[in-house]
Each structure stands twice: as structure tokens, then as C-alpha cells.
Amino acid sequence: MSADVLIGVYPPAELSVLHARRTTPAWPLAEAGLTLTHLGRGAVWLALRALGLRGGSRLAMPAYHCGSEVEAAHLAGLEVEFYRVDDQLRVDEDDLARVAAVTDAVYLISCFGFPTVARPSGSRVIEDAAHGLFSLHAGTPVGAGAEAAVFCPRKSLGTPDGGAVVVPAGRQIDVSEGRAPVRPMARSVASLVAARAAIARRRQLRARAARAIARMSRGDAAAREGTLTETVIGEWNLEVGDMEAAARAPSRLTAAVLGRVDGAAIRARRRRNYLRLRDELAELTLEPFRDLAEGTCPLYFPLLAGDRSRAIAALLARGVRPLEIWPVPHPILDRRRFPEPERARLSLLALPVHQALEDWHMDIVLAAVKDVLAKPSA
């Protein structure tokens, strides 16, 4: 089956914002203490440095993580002490307090844009809001108030690259020299533009773009064959030089877009799209993701799928391109000591809710999910 549309989890290029008038962007994009980087892991790298964490320092990190943030800490020579996260992906606050008491700082991750509110008293906190740009908790932006906050605008804004770190004004950030490499950025822009065409209103245009992407994407070929995990994973075994490169300035295009985006409008659209899925699929996600508290700006909808590889291949055939969510933890984690998130690693996939999607796109996503769930062997 080949679809006449391709709806991905991350937003496509939104070059029209370059014509928008510059306004004061939402927090943190106009902060005095903001530093933009090429990638999110580069922002983590700079955050660790800003807090004076170096070889021999001890950092508390969650047992459920993406892996590239742990790689940054590992390469910085830190001793990582993991704290427990339960089978619903909630932080085990007693375990966090225990680990926080013996570490120099605590690293918190707001998964999928949902704020992590645990705060061990007396600890310095790095808040990873790589998924949480424009998310609010009780009216306050996620990341505000931390000693350092890390963002990954490339995941939420359709830019070719982009990480960001925010530290309180006055604290020094020691940036890496140089800028993101030009050629990979040009490739990235081309694929973001193709992704935009693949969700266009004009059917012929989007069908052509969807076919072209299907031919060229290594990830999609792996998804069709059921070998996505091993093809996509590769965020570790990096070197210090990779982190320094990730900590360089982003491409000029990314910097220009970041000065013009409308955070409130993005949050409103993502919430609307999320609720569309949540209203029909609530029992197929973990408990913390069934409610969308006021202000939460979700990155995607996490869906539990019994046979995830099959579900991903079947959704792709219907024009929806999910992602596996954090299937493999960083190798320094002893998985037997921290078994609680294993089901999530095995079963969670991300469904799109991003701001470029209108109601008719969400109809397609929902119909595809229902069809796939109704036909276990399709």
C-alpha cells in the first residue's frame, strides 16, 4: 500500500515565518542567558560546563532517557548515578532524593513536553526541556528557575538544527567556536521542505513528495523491514570533538526562525491535536499522558503498541510516520537494576501532533491508528 501523504512526528519547514515581523518571542528565546547551539546535546555539554561539572563530578540522571544527554555527561567525565523512574515513567521521588544527596547536581527530563515537577531540596538542577519548548507548569515555563535549562528547538520548530541552553543572566557560558556545517544543513532543509510538501493540501503535490521521501529515506526503509531500532540508534560512542561541534552556533536559518516563532500559537495547535488523539486513545497511553494540564505543550502523543515494529510499518503504509520512543538506554545504565521502564522502551511509539497539522491531517492520523489497531495482522 502506498499513501498519498506522509505525516511525520516533527514539524516540517515553516519558511513563511521568515516573512513574519520580528516580535518578542516566547520564553526562553529572548532570554539574556540564552545560548543557541547546533544540537541539543551541545546545549547539554555547555550546561554541564556552566555549572562547573567536570571530570569526577557526580550527576544524578533518570533511568529513562534518550541517551544523548547521558553521552554528553559521560564524555564530560562525570560519574552518572541513575535514579528510578517507574513503569508509568514517573520519577521515583524517594529514589531521586537518595541519589540527589550523594551527587553534585540533578538532571531532570520533562518527557514528551510533560513537566517533571519533582525538585529535590538543596540540589542544583539542570532541567532538560528538549521536548518541552513553550511548555508551562502552573503558568511558569518549563526550565525557568533551573540553574541551567536545555532545549532542542529543532524537534519542535522545523528548523534544520538547533539546541539551546539558558542559564541565569550574569552566568558565563563558554561557547564553542564556529558554526553548523553548511552541507548537512542544506540536506536537512531539503528534507524539511519535502516533508512540508508531503502534507500539502494539493493531493498531487503531497503524493509526489511522499513517494520521493519513501524512495530516499533509510529510516523508512528500515521501518518497513522492521529493523528501525538498530538502524536509527547511534547516539553514543561519540567523542569529545562531536560534543564540541554540537555546541557550536546553529545555522543562520535556524537562528533567524527562532527569532520569529509564535510560542503561544504553537502550544495551542499542539494541544488541540493532542487532545484529538487523547480523546480516542487514552487507554493506549501511560497514565501521566492521559491528562493534558493547562499550559503543557506536548511534543507528540505516546502510544503503547503491543507489536511496535508491525504497528510502525502499518502506519507508514497509511501515510503516518511514527517514531520509536527511546527504545535503548545509554549502555552505562544497568538495565537489570532499573527494569521499570522496559515496557515503555519496548512498546511506546510517538504519533504526530505538531503545529503544522490541521484537523484534516489529524483525521488521517486517527483513522490510520484505528485501522492498524483493528487489524492486528495488516
Binding site for ligand PLP (CB under 6 A): 39-41, 44, 66, 68-69, 109, 128, 130, 152, 154, 163, 246
Grid cell listed for 343: 515496557
Residue at grid coordinates 543557541: 36
Q: How far is the CB of 45 from ligand PLP (least distance, A)?
A: 9
Quote the least distance from Cβ 200 to ligand PLP, whole Å. 27
CB neighbour burial string for 328-364, b if at least 16 within 10 angstroms, e if fewer: bbbeebeeeebebbeebbebbbbbbbbbbbeeebbeb
Distance of closest approach, residue 228 Cβ to ligand PLP, in angstroms: 16
Compute the least distance from the CB of residue 293 to ligand PLP, in Å: 20
Secondary structure string (H, E, C) spanning 71-87? HHHHHCCCEEEEECECC
- Shortest distance, CB of residue 19 to ligand PLP, whole angstroms? 27
Nearer to ligand PLP, 246 or 344 (CB): 246
Q: Which residues contact 88 (CB under 8 A, 6 or more apart)?
A: 286, 287, 288
**Nearest approach, Cβ of residue 40 and ligand PLP (Å):** 2
Residue 3 CB, shortest distance to ligand PLP, in Å, is 27
Query: In 66-184, which ranges are E strands?
Result: 79-83, 105-109, 125-129, 136-137, 140-141, 148-151, 163-166
37 or 362: whose CB is closer to ligand PLP? 37
Distance spanning both ends of the chain, measured CA to CA = 11
Strands of the sheet containing 301-304, edge to edge, are 301-304, 348-351, 323-324
Residue 5 or 70 with smaller CB distance to ligand PLP: 70
Pick between residue 89 and residue 372 the one whose CB is nearest to ligand PLP. Answer: 89
Pairing of strands 125-129, 136-137: unpaired
* Of 285, 256, 48, 27, nearest in space to 132 by CA: 27
Shortest spacing between CB 243 and ligand PLP, in angstroms: 9
CA of residue 183 relative to chain centroid, distance: 23
Q: What are phi and psi of 70, to 5 degrees?
A: -70, -40
DSSP code of residue 91: B
Q: Which residue, among 282, 273, 284, 278, has the nearest Cα to 361 in the 3D structure? A: 273
Report the residue number whose CB is nearest to ligand PLP: 40
Closer residue to ligand PLP, CB minimum distance, 26 or 72: 72
Q: Which is nearer to ligand PLP, 66 or 222 (CB)?
A: 66
Residue among 41 and 196 whose Cβ is closer to ligand PLP = 41
Query: Which residue number, 69 or 104, has a Cβ lying nearer to ligand PLP?
Result: 69
